[in-house]
Amino acid sequence: MQLDGVAAAGGGRVVMLVDNGVDGDSRVQKAARSAADAGWDVTLLGCADVEREWRLGGAQVRVLPMGGNRGGGRTGLRQRLVARGGPLLRAARLARRPVEHAQVFFWRTVAGDRAWRHLEPGLWTYERVFGPVVDALAPDLIHAHDFRMLGVAARAVDRARTAGREVRLVWDAHEWLPGARPRRDNVRWLPAHLAYLREYVSHADAVVTVSEALAELLQDEHGLAERPTVLLNAPAVTDPSPTPAEVPDLRDRCGVGPETPLLVYSGTLVEQRGVATVVEALPRLPGAHLALVVADPSAPYVRRLLAVAARLGVAERVHPVPYVPHGQVSAFLSAADVGLIPIHHWPNHEIALITKFFEYAHARLPVVVSDVRTMADTVQATGQGEVFRAGDATDLVRAVRAVLADPQRYRRVYDGPASPLPDWTWEAQAERLDAVYRRLLGGGDPPGRSTTTPAVVQAP
């Protein structure tokens, strides 16, 4: 069904949905802002404990109140009880697992992919919170970010079509769900969400995702007619650049001078990110300092790493520093000598080109990355850094020493006609997203836009 004139001149109404408070999700923010810049009427709906509303460029952002019930979870309460009750509560949790396995088997046998309604009924909370707002906005296209919003979007599309309005659905797959770590200590969590995803994936008119490797997995797993369009988690580079005076000096924050070898890790700190391997390597990298650019420099895991550093006699060379605003990240990181991605092997790590990979590249930093498949292959193909065996501090030392011995060899990759940087920008990805919208809404390919990556149309 053609939407009369909607896409031909731009301006169609787009509603984006995301299962978070928007603030910390750079991909979602960039998608909303760039779609609005391209002429779409964008409303981005997120969720949190407290209702909020603001503008993000030309996009309207509304964070809806979840009422303290997110995905059926009383996770915070359980975590507090476990912390207070110690071994007895953990033992009780283990004792319940056979019951949960039995529940999964029973409901999958009885209900198939509809089993999530019994295994994870809290998913209906998202319907209650988002559904009426989406219906009231009457979008022409719904862009569902990640897996939880897919069902909300699909049901909104069904209601609109029943009422005689044609609405298109784009699913933005941020990760490969079978390879994700369960978000709660609950045997039901993963099979329930997989069933939820399988029930609704066929409703998507187009699928976009974050890497070629994940696009291939999604096509194979869900029988997609075409491979998903890849929108890399690359930084925006045409926003007004901060002046040097506006960008904090990373070396000043770490208390080191320009001659000190400075390694940097930027992003979330949890065990599977592998930063403990870097701390373990520091005694064999004399003189090198490590900057940890994190949301909360006093967080418990940061304190654990500092305690390890103290035992190894290198505490004075580890410097937790807070995040800077999104537009300053690459300029802030550029003061370092090496960008680190020491993540462990895990299914979603193998297929990802993560945001910090591109932030390091735009900071023109040589990269030292563990041998997770997609990022290791990319680094080896471009020559922008070195690869080491995940979790192997000795091999990490080798890789860092190689980079520090000749950093310009690796930095040269970012300059010249063969540089990967022009395609590693959000602006390049935004053109592809705009092309997907226009194809779905009947507007054709706008002049001068890149459409080299096809949109995905789900087979009937």
Q: Is the pLDDT of residue 84 over 60?
A: no
pLDDT at 15: 98
Query: What tokens were used for 392?
Result: 């192997």
Is 4 domain-assigned?
no
Q: Is the pLDDT of residue 444 over 60?
A: no
More confident residue, 319 or 442: 319
Q: Is the pLDDT of residue 402 over 50?
A: yes
Is 245 domain-assigned?
no
* One domain, residues 221 and 254: no
* One domain, residues 403 and 280: yes
* One domain, residues 173 and 280: no
More confident residue, 280 or 72: 280
Q: Is the pLDDT of residue 216 over 70?
A: yes
pLDDT at 322: 96
* One domain, residues 188 and 289: no
Average pLDDT for 108-114:
92
User: Residue 70 — very low, low, confident or very high, per pLDDT cuts 50/70/90?
Assistant: low
* One domain, residues 281 and 377: yes
- Alpha carbons 169 and 133: distance in angstroms, whole number: 16
Q: To which H or E segment does residue 78 belong?
A: helix 75-85
More confident residue, 161 or 11: 161
Is 378 domain-assigned?
yes
More confident residue, 196 or 4: 196
Domain that holds residue 435: 13-70+117-234+428-440
- Alpha carbons 430 and 2: distance in angstroms, whole number: 23
Is 86 domain-assigned?
no
Is 122 domain-assigned?
yes
Is 276 domain-assigned?
yes
Beta sheet of 318-322, edge-to-edge order: 318-322, 289-294, 262-266, 338-341, 367-370, 385-388
User: Residue 134 — very low, low, confident or very high, per pLDDT cuts 50/70/90?
Assistant: very high
Q: Is the pLDDT of residue 447 over 60?
A: no
State the Cα angle at 239 between 235 and 242, rounded to 5°: 95
Average pLDDT for 134-139:
98
* One domain, residues 283 and 213: no
Is 355 domain-assigned?
yes
**273-295: per-residue pLDDT in tens?**
999 999 999 999 999 999 999 99
pLDDT at 89: 62
* One domain, residues 230 and 269: no
- CATH number of the structural domain spanning residue 330: 3.40.50.2000
Is 93 domain-assigned?
no
Average pLDDT for 194-206:
96
pLDDT at 71: 53
Number of domains present in the structure of the chain = 2
Burial 398-412 (b: 16+ CB within 10 A, else e): bbbebbbeebeebbe
pTM of the model: 0.85
Q: Is the pLDDT of residue 86 over 90?
A: no
Average pLDDT for 415-424:
92
pLDDT at 67: 79
pLDDT at 208: 98
* One domain, residues 128 and 196: yes
* One domain, residues 351 and 269: yes
* One domain, residues 229 and 343: no
Kindly report the average pLDDT of the chain as a whole number: 89
**303-351: per-residue pLDDT in tens?**
999 999 999 999 999 999 999 987 899 999 999 999 999 999 988 889 9
Q: What is the DSSP letter of 150?
A: H
Q: Is the pLDDT of residue 131 over 60?
A: yes
Q: Is the pLDDT of residue 52 over 60?
A: yes
* One domain, residues 277 and 394: yes
- Alpha carbons 125 and 174: distance in angstroms, whole number: 21
* One domain, residues 223 and 195: yes
pLDDT at 224: 96
